[in-house]
Structure 1
Amino acid sequence: MVSLTCLGVLAVTGVALSFWYDPSGDTVDYSGSYPLLRGLPVSRAYASTMHISFDVPGGLLLRQTHHWAALVLPAALILQMLATFFTGAFRDPRRLTWALLVGTFLLVLGAGWSGYALPDDMLAGTGLRIVEGIVLGIPVVGTRASFAFFGGEFPGTALTHMYWLHVAVLPSLVVVVVALRALAALRTPVDASDSRRVPLRVYAVRAAGLSLITTGFLVLLGGLVEVSPVWIYGPASSGHASAGSQPDWYTDFLDGALRLVPSGWEPQVLGHPLSLSVLVPQALVGAFIATILLWPFLEAVATGDRRRHVVLDRPREHPTRTALGVAGLVFFCGLWLAGATDVVTVAFGISFEHQVVALRTLVLLGPLVAFPVTRALCTGLTARELTERAGGIETGVILRDPLGGYTERHGPRPADPPALTGERRDT
């Protein structure tokens, strides 16, 4: 419900912002209320963003609420994916639901990234310059792809392209995918004989309450916590880049992958340079995302389990899957942390080079350590449950026998909690 509420807030605030935003890169002299920029040449996009922030009543609240909703939405989707993965809710008959959930996350990343560039401030300009470098690094088609996207030399007409991606193409795809996911969830078979399922009216009241709380929280963030202060960043300039520039948190892992690859990794192949420092991160992240998307099918092939599962699992019941999930999470977190190395250097004085070495070690060796540790933990918890079922649990009551020895009284183990979905557990 949190993710749906964020989508609703994004739609309402986005439509409102579109009345004043001008997605044009044409240059004008700024004449708004912010005195430090008055008279400077800026793009119409930047000028309209400043106009929304300082001259439209409630405009800054709209902008910041929109931005905060865009930051919270990926977090809600990641939590959904983690819960779905660790409880096995991606298996048949929910494979399509899993694919649509991952697709929603990827579309939201694209929508957030396209919106990140629209203010045309220095931070957005730096991000677009990085994207241009990544696209140019693609063999054979890189130059043509860059010219097609930017409409010629950088920055070209990128703002217009990004605007229509952000307000029309990607939101439409998100709506379609969310609707398909809801339809797939409704058609997923459940145990109709179960009496513990929540009545519709109770679920509706709970969902409405959570939606109102989420909306209020986003509005409070928009009104009280500053985000994207474009007046501080200044207008974008193709000849300048801002130090310490950071993408929004949900794309930080992509930036981190680029930072961890050795610089100058560019061998000559058939007389042409091959930018491995760009291609390797792209391939690595692409393979990681493809593995997540195809995981239901990969697990079914690896385990030979092709049954239909209508009941969720506890993570400890499938130690290998849980260990692989934790290993993947460590890998993701290592890339994500790498995206903030320059900020950590400035804030804490930790050497950039030392951070890169440590994070390379974390990305390469962290998953190898996390896998056996997590698997052993899950196996140990399961073994403990079996022991308690056989001999009972400790009560803390010490008994003395006639010969003077002491033993602890063991009581019956509490009944196992019902299945997570309230349905009968598979046998």
Structure 2
Amino acid sequence: MNTPDTLDDYQRTVRALSDRIVEAQAPVRILDAVKWDDSIREGFFASGCRELPKVDRSWYEARPLAFDSAAKKEEFQNIERDITRQLGQFSPVGQIMRRMCREYRMVIRMLEARGTADFGLISQELYGAASDAFHAGDPTLADLGLMLSDYLNNIDDRSDLKDEPKTLTAPQAVEMLQRRLDPVFGEGEGVIRVFESDGILADAAAGADYIKIRSDAIFNERDVRALEVHEGLVHVGTTLNGQNQPICTFLAKGPPSSTVTQEGLAILMEVIAFASYPTRLRKLTNRTRAIHMAEEGADFLDVFGFFREQGYDEEECYSNANRVFRGSLPNGLPFTKDLSYLKGFIMVYNYIQLAVRQGKLEHIPLLFCGKTTLEDMRTLRQLVDEGMVAPPRYLPQQFQDLNALSAWMCFSNFLNHLSLDRIEADYANIL
């Protein structure tokens, strides 16, 4: 494996440009910039949950970004210019890095537009919209959300599918998750840390080499298993693999296009590791449906009411509705990042399925090289062959031996050609 001391001139040039991207993006923290503080929640509940949260453009302006947005956009513009000057217009790795620079400039424009209609429009450009189809003539993400909800409703009343009681406190979940991850990432090496944290919206959040558990959250063992797979094996694993890159260090950081791929990969891992479950899937489908509601004109109160109808308590209803409107206005277009889960799952699943169909199995583990994007996978394969990108060091067991995955996808390719409606009619007398 290459080290900084053994790189040739071209590789050193790529490494230097890559490092500049990593450094430039460091202060750009999207979720920190769009989150609402506790005063908004307290005000909403003080109104009896009957008035829109008190968030407008001036509220965001009173909470400036952690960087000079004009200077930061110029910095990314300069990096993009230098990539072309030093690597040429058609360098494959240069094309990836230039796209990243353009995405980060768009992210900054979105954050500049907090509290305006442009915020939601740019969010749709970066993460997509619920009304987007996967391919011409195919169902949309909103259709997928409704379809999955129908399936889940059919099994909702089964007593044998009820969730186990949530009896694990945050400290207990921290200890259990750390114990599960140590054998994967190196026990005693301190490669990955699990700890409690206040102030995060989700139950857990992954960083470069850590997983934060919200200190007031409670869990069951199935929740911890999902966190192990989703946050640990995928999010932390791909980050560490990116950090281990000797040349293309930009793979340690991900713009929005990689968010879709990474979240999709994480959900796929939950499924093939048997770590997912109906309640988890319903959470994802409800997020998609809520975003579609907001795109169609629903406001915060409407979305809050939707989650209440789904059986969530008021704190959960607020938290879920908050995810939809953070960065925007309580009656504005939604922040569409949460579409990444289902959208990414379908896209990554299709990619793996086609890789098996075409006999290109060597492409599949490269999804874990870092914060990858599907559109870059062919280029990444080329860069691995050239020694520019290192294969992933941390790879889930399901992707180390592709035998079972390939067999599953071979059957799946065939099953896609069958008519489920016809099968349902034929099986009517036996099911």
TM-score scaled to structure 2, two decimals?
0.25
Question: Quick check: which has more Rg, 1 or 2?
Answer: 1
TM-score scaled to structure 1, two decimals?
0.25
